[in-house]
């Protein structure tokens, strides 16, 4: 799925070249649903936004003309919910990667709402979007002098018991603090004595999580996010957070989107003996016996080595999320994010001026 470009007119009357993605990521780099929903839907109405490349600082235009699916990422998507009807009217489908951790007692996420409020938001979101519409993320799993593996599993269990029946997937990741020095500095400056995950401890956590999932009847698909470690023997596969399978289950009726994703939709057929045909091993099962087959892999080469996401265009910007999470890799510091958020104008072409 190539990133097509089109010519657009800006609000100033200038004709510019813009990326025109089919799938939009909103966003890995900041929490647009929590803080910038009004801005995003203003941009959707106007038809484009301006995105700043984090590597070279250049401004790039992104057209929404061809967008047919959106993956939202958020720790508090409550402000997004009232806008979802607008997407439906435009024929744009979506799902939400909802990061729902419980570090309330440890104050690792000082800017997010209370856990009870976030649980209620998750249920409301799932009821609004329907089956496959809300994905639960535990991201990241952090070890400290006060949080051990048993503590993390207890936190998982308490949330899973509430979300049982409202989501089909749990995506988790292990905090890689040594890979982000600014994260280590921020945790240390707040008196958090963190510990790095070892492969032995990863397997211990994953094994007990898988066991709980089976024993408690949660029946969640367990997925690890961009992790090197192979946990497939525990039934835990690598995640595709921008996932063609989930997109197909939600929007298989959208022929243009399916073609762009390299997916073919098949209807069930009967053999000469009146039996249903045997599905291919990699078939994506859909409603009423239909299934999809991937005829072209669309992995996003721009993501991390062990990320299996398909190609999309992200429109977020680093240093703009004021949740203030102490482990955040997307902000230079909580103060820089708050400062940038204060410069936000919901009518601007960019997230911050």
Q: Which stretch of 3-7, 93-97, 239-243, 339-343 has the lowest confidence by average pLDDT? A: 3-7
Burial (0-12, 13-18, 19+ Cβ within 10 Å), 272:
exposed
**Rounded to whole angstroms, how far apart are CA atoms 225 and 239?**
5
Whether 182 maps to a domain, the answer reads yes
Global pTM reads 0.95
The predicted structure's pLDDT at residue 162: 96
308: its two tokens: 């299996």
Q: Which residue has the tokens 């039934």?
A: 235
Whether 255 maps to a domain, the answer reads yes
What is the 3-state composition of the chain as percent helix, strand, coil, each rounded to the nearest 5? 30, 25, 45
Q: Band the pLDDT of 333: cuts 50, 70, 90.
A: confident
On the CB side of 301, CA atoms within 13 Å amount to 4
Number of domains in the chain: 1
**Rounded to whole angstroms, how far apart are CA atoms 37 and 314?**
15
149-163 and 199-215 helices, crossing angle to 10°: 30
Q: Which residue has the tokens 């000082």?
A: 110
Residue 7 contacts by C-beta under 8 Å, 6 or more apart in sequence? 15, 16, 17, 18
Strands 5-9, 15-19: pairing kind: antiparallel
pLDDT per position as a tens digit, 131-176: 899 999 999 999 999 999 999 999 999 999 999 999 999 999 999 9
CA 1 → CA 25, 192, 256, 282, 299, distances in Å?
15, 43, 12, 20, 9
Whether 21 maps to a domain, the answer reads no
Q: Average pLDDT, whole number, for the chain?
A: 94
- Per cent of the chain over pLDDT 90 is 84
209 membership: H or E segment, kind and range:
helix 199-215
Task: Give the pLDDT mean for 54-63.
Answer: 92
Whether 266 maps to a domain, the answer reads yes
Q: Band the pLDDT of 288: cuts 50, 70, 90.
A: confident
Q: Which stretch of 63-77, 208-222, 271-285, 317-331 has the lowest confidence by average pLDDT? A: 271-285
Whether 27 maps to a domain, the answer reads no
Whether 94 maps to a domain, the answer reads yes
The predicted structure's pLDDT at residue 158: 98
The predicted structure's pLDDT at residue 6: 97
Q: Band the pLDDT of 2: cuts 50, 70, 90.
A: low
The predicted structure's pLDDT at residue 174: 97
Cβ atoms of 215 and 161 closer than 8 Å: no
Strands of 118-186, DSSP E = 134-141, 143-144, 169-174
Question: Is 272's pLDDT higher than 80?
Answer: no
The predicted structure's pLDDT at residue 68: 98
Provide DSSP, 212-270.
Answer: HHHHTT--PEEEESS-SS--GGGT-EEP-SS-HHHHHHHHTT-HHHHHHTTEEEE---B
Whether 202 maps to a domain, the answer reads yes
Q: Band the pLDDT of 267: cuts 50, 70, 90.
A: confident
Question: Is 279's pLDDT higher than 90?
Answer: no
Which has more confidence, 328 or 274?
328
Its domain, for residue 171, covers 72-332
The predicted structure's pLDDT at residue 153: 98
Task: Give the pLDDT mean for 10-27.
Answer: 97
The residue length of the chain stands at: 353
Whether 1 maps to a domain, the answer reads no
* Residue 164: strand, helix, or coil: strand
* Residue 73: strand, helix, or coil: strand
- What does residue 257 show for φ and ψ, rounded to 5 degrees? -65, -45
Q: Band the pLDDT of 348: cuts 50, 70, 90.
A: very high
């Amino acid at each position: 799925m190539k990133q097509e470009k089109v010519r657009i007119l800006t609000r100033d009357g200038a004709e510019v070249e813009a990326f025109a993605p089919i799938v939009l990521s909103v966003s890995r780099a900041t929490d647009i649903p929590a803080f910038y929903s009004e801005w995003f839907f203003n941009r959707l109405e106007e038809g484009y936004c301006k995105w700043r490349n984090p590597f070279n600082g250049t401004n790039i235009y992104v057209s929404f003309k061809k967008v047919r699916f959106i993956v939202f990422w958020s720790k508090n998507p409550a402000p997004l919910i009232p806008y979802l009807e607008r997407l439906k009217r435009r024929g744009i489908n979506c799902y939400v990667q909802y990061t729902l951790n419980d570090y309330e007692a440890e104050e690792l996420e000082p800017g997010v709402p209370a856990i009870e409020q976030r649980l209620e938001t998750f249920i409301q979101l799932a009821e609004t979007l329907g089956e496959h519409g809300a994905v639960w993320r535990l991201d990241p799993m952090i070890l400290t002098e006060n949080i051990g593996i048993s503590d993390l599993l207890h936190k998982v269990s308490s949330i899973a018991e509430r979300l049982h029946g409202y989501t089909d997937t749990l995506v988790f990741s292990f905090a890689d603090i040594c890979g982000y020095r600014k994260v280590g500095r921020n945790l240390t400056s707040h008196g958090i004595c963190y510990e790095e995950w070892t492969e032995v401890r990863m397997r211990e956590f994953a094994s007990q999580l898988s066991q709980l999932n089976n024993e408690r009847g949660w029946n969640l698909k367990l997925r690890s996010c961009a992790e090197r470690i192979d946990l497939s023997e525990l039934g835990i596969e690598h995640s595709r957070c921008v996932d063609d399978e989930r997109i197909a289950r939600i929007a298989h009726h959208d022929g243009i989107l399916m073609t762009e994703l390299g997916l073919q939709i098949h209807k069930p057929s009967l053999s000469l003996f009146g039996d249903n045909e045997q599905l291919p091993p990699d078939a994506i099962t859909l409603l009423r016996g239909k299934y999809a087959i991937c005829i072209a892999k669309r992995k996003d080469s721009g993501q991390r080595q062990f990320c299996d996401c398909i190609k999309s265009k992200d429109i977020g910007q680093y240093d703009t999320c004021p949740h203030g999470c102490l482990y955040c890799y997307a902000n230079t510091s909580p103060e820089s994010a708050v400062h940038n958020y204060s410069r936000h104008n919901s009518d601007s072409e960019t997230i911050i001026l």
